[in-house]
A and B are shown apart, each in its own frame.
Chain A
Amino acid sequence: MAGMLELKNLNKNFDAVHVINDFSLEVFENSLCCLVGPNGAGKTTTLDLITGRQAPSSGKIILNGVDITGKAEQAICRLGIGRKFQIPAIFRELSVEQNLAVAHSIEINPIKNIFSFSSKNYKTKMDEIADKVGLSHRLPEMAGNLSHGEIQWLEIGMLLMQDAPLLLLDEPVAGMTEGEVSKTVDILNELKKIKTLIVVEHDMGFVRRIADVVTVMHMGSLLAKGSIEQIEKNQEVRNVYLGTEDE
């Protein structure tokens, strides 16, 4: 069985610097794959390549059998990939409710959207998702006024409104308190029953609580892949994380 998302021999150079080096990865449906690695390993760049923010120098990206290499961001997004950014990207001047409404991007035709005034047809969905990410009581609040954790959840909520089957999350728990991390773990474990997720993360404690598969990147290439137990025993990974290079 072919994976939902396949990366084949990706390469990315910025001038002479090889950021991604012959990196291949396969992600299967309804699983949660964690992408870990030290700083500068190329994790975020990999997400950039998948979502079309940058074009790979060579290699192929295949989503559900369709080659999406080098397509525009919004086109890739329409094929079913949602992305949460490392620095949370939400619409700060809009209310939480409006953020979710914008994320409901079923209809992208601007002309049709000019004549659309009602949120009736997605109101139920919006309430459900707000509930799932724990923001039901914050709907009328300006998104810029939310706490850091709430902003992260709002962004996850927006991905759910967008309804993409494949979600890429870049450091979803960065800067969260322990309580907030636990809540995020619950949200993600709930999500992976219905979605496919790729999570970029540093925090191995967090990874242990959510990952089905862990992929370790180092210097832009694949270092190891396996379950969390296998990874934690892997000597090479230990060297990279604990040995000569520091985090």
Chain B
Amino acid sequence: MKVFFLCRTGRHTSLLAAALYLGLLKKKPGSNEDMHSNDIFGLHGFDANYCRDDGRPFFVGADRDDTEVYTIGVRNVGPIMAKAANDFISLVGTKKGEWCVIDTSPVTSRWTSAGLCLKKMRLYSLARFFFYLGARRELPFLLKLVEENRKMSFHSKSA
């Protein structure tokens, strides 16, 4: 199975979701412990240069069930590219339930969006601080999203 997480850059919200999916970021739901910035910035590819690679899937890793997890940067057309990706994958003959496209852009916090603006203005340190704040804000929602999709994919596999 292949899972594609979509967000604006493919290197922030979607990468966090992919890391949660693969268990690279561990945070128990409801726990009060804050995630350390090193955990987030230590993720391979987090906040890496992305402009040239917009749209190109980025391989994050594979889990024990051989589920390959990718992120895709889709600018501000997440729902549209999610439809296009779904249509294209089904068009190439992939069986239903063998892939999953999850648009994480609704979860993207304002802090992350502000960080992207700051990065464009070349204020990198400040941008990274905003990304950290954004990631902290997004993590509970992403955990929920990932768990829901994991359950759905489990059901579709067993069906």
A and B associate: no
